Amino acid sequence: MGHEVPLIASLRAAVGAAPDDVPLRLHLSELLLAHDRADEAVAEIAAALRRAPGNAQARALMTRAMTPTLDPDPTTGFDWERAEKEFAGIAAPYLTAGTETPGGGDAAVWEVEDAGRIRLADVGGMLEVKQRLEAAFLAPMRNPELRELYGKQMRGGLLLYGPPGCGKTFIARAVAGELGARFMSVGLNDVLDMYIGQSERNLHEVFETARRSAPCVVFLDELDALGAKRGLVRHSGLRNSVNQLLAELDGMHAAANEGVFVLAATNHPWDVDTALRRPGRLDRTLLVLPPDAPARQSILRYHLRNRPVADVNLTAVARRTDGYSGADLAHVCDTAAERALMDSVATGTPRMIRASDLAAALSQVRPSTGPWFESARNVAMFANDGGMYDDLLTYFKRRGKHRS
């Protein structure tokens, strides 16, 4: 945007820290209008109206912002129905959730969250994952002077892959926390729409929202569905969505995505379109494996924290759960609690969750990651193009599962 007006920049930062503060957002809108930046003002006023639909000041400001374009009749007042139609791409998604768009679909409203206090230190164990994240992604982002020295833009893309239920989403939130950035989580169901062109518009609006909220982490969940190989997709709408995603990752110009960090997660990286993996896009990968022993112990402690537990050796339980995902461990805790509950109902006397309950739960709940590793082993051995799956091969060798 060139040289930003200092007061506008300060107000943007304040609004970013308190997005639900309507008076503050309207103050920013007035300043934008005073600097002849009506389009930006409309977006801010619309966001205010989404939070306070009846706010008279916001409606009056919207009248000022849109009047040069709509030229309403002063005797009849501002034509809101006409405004919503003409500004469907800007105001309507915020003014009325579900307003019908020209394509016939519902306009989406994208929520940008504060990452809060979640940090990588809150991720139990996984030391190797944290080290790789620090070296490949976080360190360059934390050092603006070095970025400037080496001509590196504040943008980046990272693909997290591995078996389901192993904490990829939580890691993405922790990365946002480390960067002091805001967070957007986007899945296939959020983007895909039955109307032609609406899915592409949804994707574009996701990235536009992120750019306005920069610094922001955009987390694309289930990338194998959202960015599937176009040669294997029969539906033209899905192919167009992949093309739109590629365009958004590249940005309209060199600095378009400055401050937008794209993290994606998939259980099946071999199904992701190869164009998404090219330099400047999601060109870095990180294997997220089932939690190691310290992480398993931390996860077990978390899921038992508010339950009546007797003297249970979580270290011993963690040793017995090698290969279990975080979701599997949560299921173990739920099963053990259910066993204690049913016993308490039968005897009429509440009792604590004991080691025997966890042992019984472990005999019922088996790790769900086995099928994934079977598929991944075949890909790593026979389709390791460019060494993408070297980390997987190392893992299999370390566990004695790799066969020449």
220 with 227: CB under 8 angstroms? yes
Please tell me the predicted confidence (pLDDT) of residue 104: 41
Residue 290 · residue 163 · CB < 8 Å: yes
Q: Is the pLDDT of residue 40 over 60?
A: yes
Residues 6+ apart with CB under 8 A from 166: 288, 289, 290, 291, 325, 326, 369
Q: What percent of the chain shows pLDDT beyond 90?
A: 32
Exposure class string for 51-90: b at 16+ Cβ within 10 A, else e: ebeebebbbebbbebbeeebebeeeeebbbeebeeebbeb
When pLDDT is cut at 50, 70 and 90, the band that residue 109 belongs to is: low
- Average pLDDT for 176-192: 87
Task: Tell me the C-alpha to C-alpha distance, in Å, between residue 391 and each of 47, 207, 348.
Answer: 44, 31, 52
pLDDT band at 63 (very low <50, low <70, confident <90, very high): confident
On the question of pLDDT at 367 being above 80, the answer is yes
pTM value is 0.68
Structure tokens at 134: 């620090």
Can you give the pLDDT at residue 103? 41
Quote the pLDDT of residue 64: 75
Give the position of tokens 């019908």.
100
Sign of the alpha-carbon dihedral angle for 44, 50, 54, 59: positive
CA atoms of 35 and 6, how far apart (whole Å): 12
Closest Cα to residue 207, out of 152, 165, 236, 246?
246
Lowest mean pLDDT among 6-20, 56-70, 211-225: 56-70
How far from 364 is each of 15, 295, 328, 331, 332, CA to CA, in Å? 50, 21, 11, 10, 8
Tens of pLDDT along 279-316?
A: 878 888 899 999 999 999 999 999 999 999 998 999 99
Pair 319, 359: CB distance under 8 Å? no
Ordered domains of the chain (ranges, CATH) = 6-95 (1.25.40), 113-287 (3.40.50.300), 293-364 (1.10.8.60)
* Residues 290 and 299: beta-carbon distance below 8 Å: no
Question: What is the CB neighbour count within 10 angstroms for residue 314?
Answer: 17
Name the pLDDT band for 138 (thresholds 50, 70, 90). confident
Residue 324: what pLDDT? 96
**Residue 129: C-alpha distances to residues 124, 295, 322 (Å):** 11, 12, 17
Least confident of 56-65, 68-77, 291-300: 68-77
Please give the pLDDT value at position 218. 93
Give start and end residues of each alpha helix (H) in 71-136: 80-86, 92-95, 127-133
113 vs 218: CA distance, rounded Å: 10
Closest CA to 285 of 379, 143, 166, 389: 389
pLDDT, residue 3, reads 60
CA dist 163 to 166, 291, 367, Å?
Answer: 7, 11, 11
Residue, of 70 and 64, whose pLDDT is higher? 64
Phi, psi of 233 (to 5 degrees): -100, 125
| Pairing, β 284-287 against β 156-161 | parallel
The pLDDT of residue 154 is above 70: no
Confidence of residue 357 (pLDDT cuts 50, 70, 90): very high
**pLDDT tens figures, 234-244:** 666 677 888 88
Q: Which of 49, 102, 104 is nearest to 80 (CA)?
A: 49
Whether 354 contacts 379, CB under 8 Å: no
Task: Record the tokens describing residue 31, joined without a space.
Answer: 């300043």
Average pLDDT of every residue of the chain:
81
Q: Average pLDDT for residues 391-400, to the nearest whole number?
A: 88
Q: Work out the average pLDDT over 242-250.
A: 88
